[in-house]
Amino acid sequence: MVGAYQSSELTPLFVFDANERDTLTREAAGIRSILADSPSAASAVMLGGGYFTPLTGFMNKTDALSVAESMRTGDGLFWPVPVLNRIAENPRVDSGDRFAILDPEVDGNPLLAVQTVEAVEELTEDECQFIAQKVFGTNDEEHPGVQTFLNQGRFIISGDIQVLNYSYFETEFPETYKTAYQIRDEIKQRGWNKVVAFQTRNPMHRAHEELCKIALERTESDGVVIHMLLGKLKPGDIPAKVRDDSIRKMVELYFPENTVIISGYGFDMLYAGPREAVLHAIFRQNLGAAYMIVGRDHAGVGDYYGAFDAQEIFRSDVPAGILEIEIFEADHTAWSNKLNQVVMMREAPNHQKEDFVLLSGTRVREMLSAGEDLPPEFSRPEVAKILMDYYQTV
């Protein structure tokens, strides 16, 4: 199993000691509290679970601008996106103060974490636009990630945090949500040495299934970690519960026993394309994966990124040796009518587009909404049934 990213060991910021958690909870009742927004709360959850190792908390303005510009913090840590605690109004706290971070996603806004203030700083409009352009490659507010980013508060509170729970992810997805350290433990328990990870924010059709099997075989890995995003998505994306059910059914019926860990992580989708692909690689190294599959339009949205920009960034912008995890570069994958199997399209010579079974996302949604069966070459029928049941309720 590979080591943690830029650290001798994983550094989850969750407070494991029950007595210490009780002490912090009592302390939080007597100090200032601030309601986080969804992206900031999700980042706290990721810090707690060890996915953001070696970070110890939220970045300051200097680090945020430096990361946007060069993918380096002020002290030289390679990191692809700013990790910020942003609020709409000046919190009126000083350096050294401690305050309670409240969870915006759970009824009653319970205590999520306690933060020690390094600094409170305000991002200007120009600085927000600069960060958006660098991270997302665009300032277009039709881009869902840019829209979310530019609508967040301008005040940022930097400093170390202590995380006390994992928000709604543990309760809503008790079998699926796993921290980086929990996945590392499961890999050890299964006796696996080498693992390949697959990122998904969508249901998995046959192309995704076969891509995982291809990567498993070619990397000579012991298992694949199917790692689904459980946080906020853009309108129109399929809810996490439906994706979870469909993926579980696919693994149950179509993967050999003890070759898959089904898991999810508590983060909001950024839709940042290449930059987010690098962040995903850090997540997967921290959970112990030796390889991560990066295919066509990884973490992309619309036409904002080239089909394989998320592969190119690892060659052009990620310094050699900085990541221990390796990228398994995949092409668009589809059923070949000529070969009667799912293949990566670049590995299928003498094929025309019509030789593949290809359906757009729009066409898939139309068919499922109308109760039409998807071609079995495109989707396993048991998976399609779960998706059809969902689409006929929306």
Q: Which residues are catalytic?
A: 201-202
**Spatial contact of 100 and 28, defined as CB atoms under 8 Å apart:** yes
Give the pair of three-digit tokens for residue 25: 């909870």
Residue 5 and residue 322: Cα distance in Å, rounded? Answer: 8
Residue 368 and residue 223: Cα distance in Å, rounded? Answer: 31
Those residues with Cβ within 8 angstroms of residue 321's Cβ, 6 or more apart along the chain or in another chain? none
Single-letter amino acid, residue 118: E
Residue 145 and residue 139: Cα distance in Å, rounded? Answer: 10
